[in-house]
Structure formats: structure tokens, C-alpha cells
Amino acid sequence: MTPPLFLLDDIPDGGVVHLSGDEGHHAAKVKRVRAGEAVLVADGRGTLLRCTVRTVLPDGVLLAVTSRELVAEGQPRLVVVQALPKGERAELAVEIMTELGVDEIVPWAASRCVTQWHGARGEKALARWRRTAAEAAKQSRRPRTPALGALASSADVAARLARAACAAVLHEDAVDAVATMAVPLVGELVLVVGPEGGVAPEELDAFAAAGARTVRLGPTVLRTSTAGAAAVAALSPRLGRWS
């Protein structure tokens, strides 16, 4: 069985790590790790420690580091622009895309989004997305959690697409399939996932002007919370991520 992974913002130098706080409690009281067991510790930015439990303490665990490595991001860098889904489906989208290996998730305030992020509500929603990504990274043993920045406008998205090595918008009326689209070897591959009501015509025009093409997943129409994950799964073997 793959050792459990715990996240620590600041990983110390040296051969000993004291895992405390929430992660230490989770290791000692939930996972119930014992002396001699193997565990993984990561900072969410690529640093990965392979450790052995030395001592279980009242406030966590003391770990002996057996190896240390820096796991680089995959190339091309995989970015998904996700229109805001409704309710708990937002966390579902973030969870699955994190487990599949997306490097960055950009929350997008599309014109047809029912959900709106404003003020404190938006801050809380973004915090939930980040917590979900961290938990999914631990579940999937990812040493890197996806970058998750502030809410993007349609103009922000168009600018991001213009800078990408490859940019595509998922759209049910597209002729070309996402599974056969040309993919770059380096740079950013940016996929745009629209809201339940679809990408507005003016947004499609702006994205096309920025260099994005439209692609389809297949004969069925997926929800916004699952379309991004399906596209990533279709592309991952061709990107060498599932080799």
C-alpha cells in the first residue's frame, strides 16, 4: 500500500521532521501511524520527503527522513479555466481535477454563471476550493497541489489564452475532438470549461480572437463539474502523464 502523504507548508532541513498541528493530529489520531511505518511529507510545491515514523507524540509524530527530492511540474503545464459550478459540484470539480494531475485551476466568472463570488462569500468559496485541492492532493499522493488563484474575468481568461502554447474551449458544437487535438511539448496547455448555460457567444468570439479553438468531448453533454476532468483524462495518455 502506498504510504499516506501529509502536507507541511515549511519543510525543515535536516533529517528529522516534527509533524504537528492538524496534520500531526491526522497522522497520530486518524491514520494511527505507528513507529517504523513509512509516510510521505510534501510542501505542495514539489518537495517530497520519504520518512519513517520514529515516535508518536501527544501532539503529532516525529519522523526520520530517509530521502528528499524535488518533483518538477509536468510539461506541458496543464491549466483548466473552470466556470463556477453550482453548490457542492464546485468542490467535486476541483477534487477530481487535482487527483488527475492538473497543474493549475482558474476559477472563472463566466457571464452565464448562476453562482457569483462577491466579497466575503467569494473569499470563503476560494478557501474551500483550496482546501479541497489540498485534501485531494493528499489522497492522490501528489507532492504538488494545483495553483489556485483569484477569480478571473472573461477578459482575464482571454489574456491567459493569448499567452498559452495551446488553448482550447470545450464546446458541444465543435467539430474537432479533444482526444485528437494537437498538444504542445512545452509551455501551457489551457482548457476552458464553460458554465451549465454554456459559453456566451461574445466570450467565444473573444477567446477565438485570443487564439483558442473549440473542441468537443464526445456525443454526450457533460456537466461543467465533470467536463474538465473528462478532458484531462482524455489528454493525459498523450501528454505522457499516464504512461
> What is the helix (H) or strand (E) element at residue 156, kind and residue range?
helix 154-163
Buried/exposed code over 71-93 (b: 16+ C-beta within 10 A; e: otherwise): eeeebbbbbbbbbbbeeebbbbb
**d(Cα 193, Cα 108) in Å, to the nearest integer?**
9
Measured CA to CA in angstroms, residue 28 lies from 2, 57, 242 at distances of 17, 8, 33
Q: What is the pLDDT along the chain (243 residues), one digit of tens a residue?
A: 789 999 999 898 889 999 999 998 999 888 898 999 999 999 999 999 999 999 999 889 999 999 999 999 889 999 999 999 988 899 999 999 999 999 999 999 999 999 999 899 999 999 999 999 999 999 999 999 999 999 999 999 999 999 999 999 999 999 999 989 999 999 999 999 999 989 999 999 999 999 999 999 988 889 999 999 999 999 999 998 887
Query: How confident is the model at residue 212, as a pLDDT?
Result: 97
Residue 220: per-residue pLDDT: 86
Domains in the chain, start-ordered, CATH in brackets?
5-70 (2.40.240.20), 77-239 (3.40.1280.10)
**114 and 83 in contact (C-beta within 8 Å)?**
no
pLDDT at position 218? 86
Joined together, the cell numbers standing for residue 239 give 501528454
pTM of the model: 0.93
6 vs 181: CA distance, rounded Å: 36
C-alpha cell at 54: 520514529
Main-chain dihedrals φ then ψ at residue 147, nearest 5 degrees: -65, 140
